[in-house]
Every structure is written in C-alpha cells, then in structure tokens.
Chains A and B, each alone.
Chain A
Amino acid sequence: MATEGVQHVALSLTDHLPVLVVLIPFLAAPLVVLIGRNRLAWPLAFIAAIGSFVVSAQLLMQVGDGDVLSYHLGGWAPPLGIEYRVDAANAFVLLIISAIATVLLPYTRASIRAELPERHIALFYALFLLAFSGLLGVAVTGDAFNLFVFLEISSLSTYVLIALGAYKDKRALTTAFNYLVMGTIGATFYVIGIGFLYMATGTLNMADLAERIADAQGNRTIHAGFAFVVVGIGLKVAIYPLHLWLPNAYTYAPSAVSAFLAATATKVAVYVLMRFMFSVFQPGYTYEAAILHLIILPLAILGMFAGSFIAIFQNDFKKMLAYSSIAQIGYMLLGIGLLSETGLTAAIIHLFNHAITKATLFMVVGAYVLRSGGSFYANLEGMGRIMPWTSAAAVVGGLSLIGVPGTAGFISKWILVQAALESGAWWIALLVVASSLLAVIYVWRGVEVVFLKPPQDDVDRREAPLTMIVPIWIMAAACVYFGLATDVTLSAAQAAAEGLFAGPLPLTVEH
C-alpha cells in the first residue's frame, strides 16, 4: 500500500505486463458494446487479441529462465492484496490462449455472419472478449478467490456463447442450461473448497496457502478443501464421469465458439488442476498422492477409452470431435496422475498440442458447416473434392489427433509413454497406444466420408473463404511445425513442469 512517508517508485510499462494481458481484452469488451457498430467490433476484438498475444509472448520470454513475476493489484502487497503471479507454467498457458484467440478471430468473421443474426454480431464479439479475458485471468492470477471470479466471468459468457447456437438448433438452449447448472455446481464446489482452505490457513494467496498447507499435514479441513476443489475444477475439466455437459455444448454451439472452447476452456481448467495439485498442494502431500493414484489415474484411463469408443459410433462430425476431446483430456490427466516431472511435462505439452489440433479440426468443421449446412457425416460426403484445402487441413489435424510421427500429437504421446515407463507402469504405456488405435478408427471414419464418397447435390460447391482457410492452415501448419521442431515446446513445457513441481517460490512480503 502506498502510505505516506514511503517514496513511490514509478512502475514502467514492463512492470505492468501481467495485468495488461487480461486488461486489454477486458477493456475492449465494454468498448465494443459502447460503440455498438458491427463493423468496428471485429477490428477492436482482433487488436485486443493481438495485444494480449504480444504481451503474453513477452511474459513467456521474461519467465523463461525460472523467474517469477509478481504484480500487486491496487498496490496492496500479498498475501492481503490480490497478486498476479506469472511463472513458466501460466505464461505458457497465457500464450496458448491468446495465440488461439488471435488466429481464430479472422475465422469468426465469415463463420459468425453465417450462423448468427446481424444484430448480435457486436454483442458476440463483446462476449467472446469477456470469455477470453476471463480465461486469461484464471491463468494469470495468484489468488484463489480471484480465480473463481475469473472462472465465472469466462463461464457465464461461455453459457451465452453456446446458447447463441440456438439460431441453428434449439438444443443449444437446453445444452447451455445444463452446462450452466453443472458449471455453477462446479464453481460452487470450488468456492466451498477454498472456504475450507481459508478456514484452516487464513489466507487466499496461492503461494501463502502452499506454505501453510505444507506445515499442516493431516488437517482434515484441508483434506475436505482439497477434495472439493478437485471435484469442482474436475467438472470444468470434464474428467470422465463429470463430462456430461461437454459433448452437446461443443456440438450445438456456433462453430467458431466450439473451436475456441475446445482449444482453450478445458485447457485452462486443466492448468488450474495442475496448479492446485502441484503448487498449492505439494506432490509430497500424502493425502493427495493417494487421491491421484486411486481416483485420477483410473478415471483418466477410463476417459481415454470411453471417450474414444463413443466417438467411433457418432454420426455427427462435431460430436465425434467432442467425445474425442474427453479422451484427450484423459491423456492430460494421466500425465498428472503419474505424479512425476516427466508426466507433468507430457500433460503440459499435450495441453498445447491438443489445443492446436482441436482448434484445427473444429475450424475445419465450421468451414464444412458454412458450405454444406450441417456437420453430420451425411452432409460432409465428398467435401474433400469440393474443399480440397480445408479437407487437407482436416487430414493434418486428424493425423495429429491420432499421434502419427511428424505431427504435434506424436510428441505428447511419446513423452506420456516415456513417463509411464519411467514410473514402471508399462501397462499404462500399452493402454495409451491402444487408445490411440481407437483414434485411428474415428479419424478414418471422417476421412472416408470426406474423401471417398461422392459429393451430395445440394451443397454449395465452393471452397471456404480465404479468411477461414488462412487461420485453418496456420493451425494445421502449427500441428506439423511443433511435431518437427520439438525443442521449442518441449523446453517450455519442461520449464513449466519444473516450476510447478518445485512448488512456488516463497512469497516475498514487502513491509
């Protein structure tokens, strides 16, 4: 706090970066509403996304060598004040979110115009920016309760974004309602958990919490708090039996929204889970280790198989991708559940690779929907001939989803298998490979429909517009690039995993 007698040191622009990354899109959202013109909404959103992207790239560079940036909101020092805390792990997550949003925004122009009425376009961008800044806020904050607030900002705007799909299919409304009920239960569980932790420790700052929890092994209030937090965040992550909101939400939301959510929302929730399991609660915390081994690990494996298996029997391309997401979340949880640094690296790198892979595939589906009017396999027959560029990107994305060598998906599964072998669980490594074989089946079904069937008569026989092709191919190229140039993502993920595994640096209290 700036009290009298203490000479104030002026902060420079670089000091403000941790708050700027959230603030830019957060300021742009009300501006879009205030201006209210459809034509200005998109440029504003795009500029804000680029701004966040540049800032988060800058942040990642600053924390690359293990530094931790701390920003005190309102000048109030933690643990009393809200702290924004950037280390290698969340800088990486920030970069993923802002990069996806930046690439996705040009794509939204054509897609949204086709799927939403004209009068909603400016409001769509305002909501998109709110969801975006909410997700960034979840990643950047170092305060457990502030995290809840950002989680709800992003969730509430997400519910509306999903409900916007009602202009194509009225089931979007019931889907959004179910997601609202489940998401609110999840968030409330999280708040109960935080309440218990606060009761036992008297602090909400994550770094401070970590210190005090380490001192209080075996406190049953903290155990209860941990359980509530894991279940609450587990709902947002869509851990296998808590996934019920996800398939319909991704299916009936507007295509651009599905792409954004699939690539970012669950990823941020996975990050929160990692943050709580490895930073706030130390890996050495015995109660947690038991939970991870007995609950998270089996559920992850169950999710991997159940998700893939259900995906095989879908007749809607979007729904197939949604169920495949549940399987892929299983891989990330598996990495977390192995409770080793390699496993955590695998989880983080899969978080990144799956984000770009699913973004590619959902954007491709959006392009198909634009031309054929639906995402059922029957609508997509023969689209490979009508839309060669889009479909080629679909193949790249599909290969990455399977984990074929040379694509991003391979790297993460490779490290996951390594982590499994490292911890002596060779059967887990086998299961990872086996579930990848299931991915071959569902991806092949899509490829077969798109390439080997004759086109239907009543579709719009044009390639997708350039504003869609370019973002799709940027993402598809990223799938290949990060499959070949592995050291970029690998070193970032390793730094992130190390940072998380070592626990947070002790809180620097300035008095």
Chain B
Amino acid sequence: MRHHLILRVITKLLVGMIMLFALYVQFHGDYSPGGGFQAGVIMAVAFILYGLVFSVGQVQQVFPPWLVHKLVALGVLIYAGTGVYSMLTGYAFLDYGALSPDHPEHGQHWGILLVEAGVGITVTAVMVSIHYAFVGRTPMISDEEW
C-alpha cells in the first residue's frame, strides 16, 4: 500500500493549513464573511481529506466516532447554554447583552464568539459523522478495482 505518494505528501502538508484557515474563518467571522457554519465545514474537510487519502481507520484513531457524536451534542449545548445564561441573568433568551451588562456592545462580541464556537463544533462534528456514516458501510469498490 505505498501508492498515491503525491496525494499522501500533499495531504499531510495541507491538513494543517486547512485547519488553520478554518480557525481564521471562525474567529474573523465577526468582521468579515464567515463564522461557525463555514469554519465548521472547512475544519471537517481537513478530517475528511485525511480519511479519504489515508484510511477511515486512521482518521478515526485521531477523531473517534464516539467523540464526534458527543461533540455534535456539545456544540448545541454551548449555543443553547449561552441563551440559558442570559435568561438566568434576567435577559431574554440569547440576549448577548447579558454577557457584559455594562457594555452591551462588548456583550454582543462575546455572545457571537460563544455561539459561533458552538455552531462550529457542531457543524464540524456533524459533517465528520456524516462522512463516517457513509464510508463506514461495506465498501462496494475496492482500491484494486479502479
């Protein structure tokens, strides 16, 4: 199993950069187009690319399916938890003003950051778990049949 050498080398180079770009889109989402959805998909692409070029088994060692499933739920909880926190402090659900009562505008920043983090985690995990679910089925075409 030593073929696809170029793919392997390029993938190893690219995976890190893709992840870095995902983080950039995630955290720069306040000021430019971007945010959790896009960042989550880009982050998932890194894992999916690794899984495609190497093997599902290898990517699942790094990012095991049970963790993926927990992260799906965790992201939603971070999102909703932000809302619940603002409810507990006497604001409306998801009113980011609650995060910084003295400076509501800063609160908006914090709120967006938290909520987008939740979205990013969930989208990454959902995309990766969809990928796992499909490739985890009995393979119909093996590498030699090409």
**A residues neighboring B (CB under 8 Å):** 2-4, 8, 10-12, 16, 19, 23, 26-27, 29-31, 33-34, 36, 71-75
Q: List B contacts of A11 (CB < 8 A).
A: 87, 90-92
Nearest CB of A to B37, in Å: 14
Contact A26 B80 (CB under 8 A): yes
Residue on B nearest A35 in the bound complex, by CB: B73
Contact B80 A27 (CB under 8 A): yes
Contacts A23-B84, A30-B76, A33-B70 supplied; 16 other A-B pairs, CB < 8 Å: A2-B107, A4-B105, A8-B90, A8-B97, A10-B91, A11-B90, A12-B90, A19-B92, A26-B80, A27-B84, A29-B73, A29-B76, A30-B77, A34-B70, A34-B73, A36-B69
Q: List B contacts of A19 (CB < 8 A).
A: 87, 92-93
Contact B97 A75 (CB under 8 A): yes
* Cβ contacts A to B, 29 pairs, < 8 Å: A2-B104, A2-B107, A8-B101, A10-B89, A10-B91, A11-B92, A16-B87, A19-B87, A19-B92, A23-B80, A23-B84, A23-B93, A26-B80, A27-B80, A29-B76, A30-B72, A30-B74, A30-B77, A31-B73, A33-B69, A34-B70, A34-B77, A71-B93, A73-B93, A74-B92, A74-B94, A75-B91, A75-B92, A75-B94
Nearest CB of B to A45, in Å: 14
The 10 closest A-B pairs by CB, nearest first: A10-B90, A75-B95, A2-B97, A30-B73, A33-B73, A74-B94, A34-B73, A30-B76, A75-B92, A19-B93
**In the complex, what distance in Å separates the CA atom of A255 from the CA atom of B121?**
35
**In the complex, what distance in Å separates the CA atom of A31 from the CA atom of B72?**
11
User: Could you mark each residue 91-111 of chain B with 1 if its beta carbon is under 8 Å from any beta carbon of chain A, else 0?
Assistant: 111111100010111010000
Residue on A nearest B94 in the bound complex, by CB: A74
**In the complex, what distance in Å separates the CA atom of A71 from the CA atom of B94?**
12
Q: List A contacts of B80 (CB < 8 A).
A: 23, 26-27, 30
Contact B83 A23 (CB under 8 A): yes
- Within 8 Å by CB of A74, from B74, B90, B93, lies B93
Q: List B contacts of A75 (CB < 8 A).
A: 91-92, 94-95, 97
**In the complex, what distance in Å separates the CA atom of A73 from the CA atom of B96?**
11
Interface residues of B in 46-104 (CB under 8 A from A): 69-70, 72-74, 76-77, 80, 83-84, 87, 89-97, 101, 103-104
Contact B77 A27 (CB under 8 A): yes
**In the complex, what distance in Å separates the CA atom of A36 from the CA atom of B66?**
10
Contact A74 B77 (CB under 8 A): no
Nearest CB of B to A315, in Å: 36
**In the complex, what distance in Å separates the CA atom of A31 from the CA atom of B74?**
8
Given A3-B104, A4-B105, A23-B80, A71:B92 Cβ within 8 A: yes
**In the complex, what distance in Å separates the CA atom of A98 from the CA atom of B91?**
26
Contact B97 A33 (CB under 8 A): no
Q: List B contacts of A36 (CB < 8 A).
A: 69-70
**In the complex, what distance in Å separates the CA atom of A73 from the CA atom of B107?**
16
**In the complex, what distance in Å separates the CA atom of A19 from the CA atom of B95?**
13
Contact B93 A16 (CB under 8 A): yes
**In the complex, what distance in Å separates the CA atom of A73 from the CA atom of B115?**
14
**In the complex, what distance in Å separates the CA atom of A16 from the CA atom of B97?**
16
Residue on A nearest B90 in the bound complex, by CB: A10
